[in-house]
């Protein structure tokens, strides 16, 4: 059976990646959510757990073997080198997990891999096409403040500062979905869905 076309979908925090992936999912498209899988693998993947403990110490996990997210979050907070080290451990394990997943999707015409750091982590190079979801910073901040009670405007500004600028992401995209209230999102998704289904 033919291997599905592999489409990456990315965008800055609050751009609307998850919302748009839910629309593709409703259309029957298999979606791999790399950010959720990364969180899951940090508590289920033996190799990754071992590497995190080795790099960050035994405090990274509690007595029950649960990831000490708060502690780890504080440890890497505002320390780009430590965050980069954590990402360097997590990304290869997510890539391995994705590679196992994609071989189970041979019936699909195309699949989506959703990831906030698709460009930053380098995984874009293994994908056939990339969609960037774009929305202005102010709108993204407004939406995330409504979604996440625990986050402040300053937190979000800091996160945006640490992500690849949206303009740069857009310049690397094969397709852009505008989620800035200037265009309806569903017709943009339907148009891409039709296009990907017609790809050879
Ligand atoms: P993250 O990078 O944090 O995972 P994301 O890019 O996946 O974010 P979403 O969670 O899809 O973004 O969207 C952020 C919030 O904005 C959500 O609460 C979502 O429901 C809302 N949202 C996204 N797009 C729209 C829209 N076009 N109209 C109204 N609300 C929207």
CATH 3.40.1390.10, domain 1-30+110-200, yes or no: no
Ligand 1, residues 11, 12, 19, 139: which to mutate, most atoms within 8 A of Cβ? 19
Q: Is the CB of 34 under 6 A from ligand 1?
A: no
Residue nearest atom 11 in ligand 1 by C-alpha distance: 16
pLDDT at 85: 93
| Nearest Cα to Cα of residue 166 among 145, 138, 125 | 138
Q: How many CB atoms lie within 10 A of CB 185?
A: 17
Q: Is the CB of 143 under 6 A from ligand 1?
A: yes
Digits of tens for pLDDT over the chain (200 positions)? 678 999 999 999 999 999 999 999 999 999 999 999 999 999 999 999 999 999 999 899 998 889 999 899 888 877 889 988 999 999 999 999 999 999 999 999 999 999 999 998 888 999 999 999 999 999 999 999 999 998 999 999 988 988 899 999 999 999 999 999 999 999 999 999 999 999 87
pLDDT at 1: 65
Spatial contact of 169 and 125, defined as CB atoms under 8 Å apart: no
Q: Is the CB of 185 under 6 A from ligand 1?
A: yes
Instruction: Give me the count of residues in the chain.
Output: 200
Q: Is the CB of 88 under 6 A from ligand 1?
A: no
Ligand 1, residues 12, 14, 24, 139: which to mutate, most atoms within 8 A of Cβ? 14
CATH code of the domain occupying 36-104: 3.40.50.300
Q: Is the CB of 131 under 6 A from ligand 1?
A: no
Return residue ranges of the chain for CATH 3.40.50.300.
1-30+110-200, 36-104
| pTM, 2 dp | 0.93
Q: Which residues pair with 6 in a beta bridge?
A: 111
């Amino acid at each position: 059976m033919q291997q599905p076309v592999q489409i990456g979908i990315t965008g800055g925090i609050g751009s609307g990646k998850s919302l748009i992936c839910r629309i593709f999912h409703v259309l029957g498209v298999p979606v791999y959510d790399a950010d959720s899988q990364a969180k899951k693998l940090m508590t289920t993947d033996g190799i990754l757990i071992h590497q995190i403990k080795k790099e960050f110490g035994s405090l990274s996990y509690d007595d029950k073997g649960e990831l000490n997210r708060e502690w780890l979050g504080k440890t890497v907070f505002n320390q780009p080198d430590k965050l980069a080290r954590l990402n360097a451990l997590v990304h290869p394990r997510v890539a391995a997990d994705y590679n196992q997943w994609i071989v189970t999707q041979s019936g699909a015409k195309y699949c989506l891999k959703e990831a906030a750091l698709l460009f930053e982590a380098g995984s874009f190079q293994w994908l056939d096409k990339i969609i960037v979801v774009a929305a202005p910073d102010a709108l993204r901040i407004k939406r995330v403040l409504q979604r996440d009670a625990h986050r402040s405007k300053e937190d979000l500004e800091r996160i945006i500062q640490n992500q690849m600028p949206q303009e740069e992401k857009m310049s690397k995209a094969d397709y852009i979905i505008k989620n800035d209230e200037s265009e309806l999102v569903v017709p943009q998704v339907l148009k891409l869905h039709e296009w990907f289904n017609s790809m050879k």
